[in-house]
Every structure is written in C-alpha cells, then in structure tokens.
Amino acid sequence: MERIDFEAAGLTRQQAEIMQAVLGVKASGEECRPSAIQAEYERFTGKSIQKPNFFTQLKHLTTTSMLVKEGGGYSVNVPALSRAFESEKKRLEREVAHFEAQQKGLKGLAASGRRPELPLIQYSSLDDYFTRIADQMGEAEVACFNSIYPWTAFSYPIARASGAFGYFTRLREFCEEGRASLKYITSFNSAYLVDLALSASKGDKKLALQECLRTLENMRSHLELYPKLEVRYAQRTLGLHFGVLKPRGSEPYNLSLFIFGKPGEVRGGVASKPGSIRNGVVINEEEMAQNVYKLFNEEFAASLDMRSPKAKKVYAQLEDQFRAALGAAR
C-alpha cells in the first residue's frame, strides 16, 4: 500500500493517520466502514484511539471534503486532496520568496557598509565559554582549535578538573561520530596539565603522574582510531585557546577566544586567586573568522604531525617533563 504524506496537505498527524487507514482498508478490499477504519488505524500505528475522538476527526475530514461517504463506507476525495496539496505548495512558495527577499536585504546591508556594532560576548567562567562552543559543534564540518593542550586526550579525572567536562564529552563524541574533521595546533603546555592532574588527584603526585601519562597514551590511540582527528605540534603558541568552526556548506562566521593565565590560575572554571586572567569572548564577524581560519590552516600545514615518526621525540619530551614536575624517576 502506498504511503501518502497527508500532513503535507495541512492535516494533523492523527488526521493523516486516519486517512492512511482508509487507504489501507480500501487496499484490503473490505468495506470501508468506521469500525474497519478504526481497526486498521490501530493495527498500523500500534496505538489506540478513543471512539469519541475518532468520530470527531472522521466528521472533520468529511466536512472538509478530505473524505467522502459512499453508502455506509468512506473513501479519499482525491480531487479535494490534490487541491489541498496545491494550496499548501503555493503557501510554501510564498514563504520561500519572503525568505529570499530577506536574504537579499541582508546582502544589501552588508554591501552598503552599514554593519551593526560588532557583538562581543563576555563570559565570566571557562565553563560558560566552552559550553557555547560545544553547542555550536553540531553544525560544523571542520573544527579548528589552537589550544594549550588537546582536550580530546584528557583522562576523565583531568577533564572533570578542567571545569568544562561537557565540552570534553562533546569533543569525544565529535571524534567517535566521524562526520567532521577536528584539527588541533598545540604546544603541549605540560605545566597546565600537571596542575589539572594534581587538582584531580587531590595533590597525590603518583596518581597525577598516571593521569598525565594517560593523556599521552590517549593521544596515540585516538590518532589511530579516529582518521578525522589531527593533532599538530608547534613549539611556540600563545597561552590562549581559540576556535574557528566551519559550518557545513558555508564559511566560518565567528571566532572564539579564551585567554588562560599562568598555570594554576584557572581551575574548575573559576580563578583560584583574584585578578587572574580568564577572559572569554566570541567575535561574530565573518571576515575576521575567515582570515583566522586561513591563517590556522597555513600554520597547521607547517606544524609537526603527531602521527609522524618524528612525533616520538615529542612524546618522550612530554613524558620527561611530567616525571620531572611530579618528582618521579623513570
């Protein structure tokens, strides 16, 4: 039996299901009486419908000419339904024309140079900032981050200590879904990671070292598991996190920035001492976002791929730094 999208003709879900039930009864060759329609409705929807409600809907469909009564039975009024589809089509065409006119108006506004004031959104905590990025990642086909450490590699305790566990979870999902590319440029700020590990382990250096070493193992395994995850090492980067998301089918339109203070000044999303730097902003400006996206890709191409054989030296240096900071001999 052919399925018809009766909702596209302006009917409610339940009305559309009753119409489909009428077609089902007709296809079986049974006389299309109310009892047969109700039984077919419950059979293919898997839900019951109260008789008063059923007969109210049946009467409405007959009154609006979607159904016609033939003796004791019912059938779909094809000409009336066709007119309803045509009417709905014209309504949608009017809406499309309206939206296209609005788009042209926006382009004209941009071309005239009459831009609105540049919107800067200030965030008071690290968690608020990263929550916004996580919310926007669903529409991205490429996510580019300059970060003091690749958050995808965090262990769960370190991710919780970071103050933005939801963002960390979204990054992991982003990798596992594999529908989009995730690119990192990082200088691997070991001091920052050590501080988070000590916070997570409540000062236990042995446990903190285990968590730091786990991030290295996570990075190796994730780069093997997720072909769309790329991590590049740059010897010097600024102590800030910035992200540019490229949505599917369009160019980047905003730039996210978070400036970290010295190691230990940002913990759990709240500065551990007054006056520490913790400024987060989102800059909604297409030209700026696209320029940063271009610069990011140029720097990305020039940085060391952590999948390459040369990356072994970086892994060894990081391990030495963790051991030195946490007082553990090799």
pLDDT of residue 323: 93
Query: Residue 284: which CATH number?
Result: 3.30.870.10
**Range name among 57-61, 142-146, 219-223 with the lowest pLDDT average:** 57-61
Residues spanned by the domain of 87: 1-115
pLDDT of residue 273: 38
In a shared domain, residues 299 and 175: yes
How far out from the chain centre does Cα 80 lie? 42
* Whether residue 114 has pLDDT greater than 50: no
pLDDT of residue 312: 94
pLDDT of residue 9: 77
Question: Is residue 330 domain-resident?
Answer: no
In a shared domain, residues 225 and 142: yes
Query: Residue 53: which CATH number?
Result: 1.10.10.10
Question: Is residue 193 domain-resident?
Answer: yes
Question: Is residue 72 domain-resident?
Answer: yes
Question: Is residue 38 domain-resident?
Answer: yes
Q: What is the radius of gyration, based on Cα positions, of the chain?
A: 30
The answer to whether the CB of 304 falls within 8 A of the CB of 233 is yes
- Which distant-in-sequence residues (6+ apart) come within 8 Å of 311 by Cβ? 233, 304, 305
> What tens digit of pLDDT does each residue of 171-198 get?
888 888 888 899 999 988 888 899 999 9
In a shared domain, residues 95 and 154: no
pLDDT of residue 6: 81
- CA nearest 255: which of 150, 143, 171, 168? 143
In a shared domain, residues 183 and 203: yes
In the chain, the amino acid numbered 199 is: S
> What tens digit of pLDDT does each residue of 253-283 get?
888 887 765 544 443 333 333 334 455 777 7
Q: What is the mean pLDDT of residues 10-38?
A: 87
In a shared domain, residues 125 and 110: no
In the chain, the amino acid numbered 91 is: R
> What tens digit of pLDDT does each residue of 127-178 get?
777 877 888 887 888 999 988 889 999 999 999 888 888 888 888 888 888 8
In a shared domain, residues 315 and 228: yes
In a shared domain, residues 176 and 313: yes
In a shared domain, residues 281 and 184: yes
In a shared domain, residues 195 and 61: no
Rounded to the nearest 5 degrees, what angle is found at the Cα of 82, between the Cα atoms of 79 and 86? 140
Both tokens assigned to 105 = 């108006």
Per the structure, how many domains does the chain have?
2
Question: Is residue 251 domain-resident?
Answer: yes
SS3 per residue for the chain: CCCCCHHHHCCCHHHHHHHHHHHHHHHHCCCCCHHHHHHHHHHHHCCCCCHHHHHHHHHHHHHCCCEEEECCEEEECHHHHHHHHHHHHHHHHHHHHHHHHHHHHHHHHHHCCCCCCCCEEEECCHHHHHHHHHHHHHHEEEEEEEECCCHHHCCHHHHHHCCCHHHHHHHHHHHHHCCCEEEEEECCCHHHHHHHHHHHCCCCHHHHHHHHHHHHHHHHHHHHHCCCEEEEECCCCCCEEEEEEEECCCCCCCEEEEECCCCCCEECCEECCCCCCCCEEEECCHHHHHHHHHHHHHHHHHCEECCCCCHHHHHHHHHHHHHHHCCCCC
Question: Is residue 316 domain-resident?
Answer: yes
Q: Read off the pTM.
A: 0.58
> What tens digit of pLDDT does each residue of 306-320 get?
999 999 999 999 999
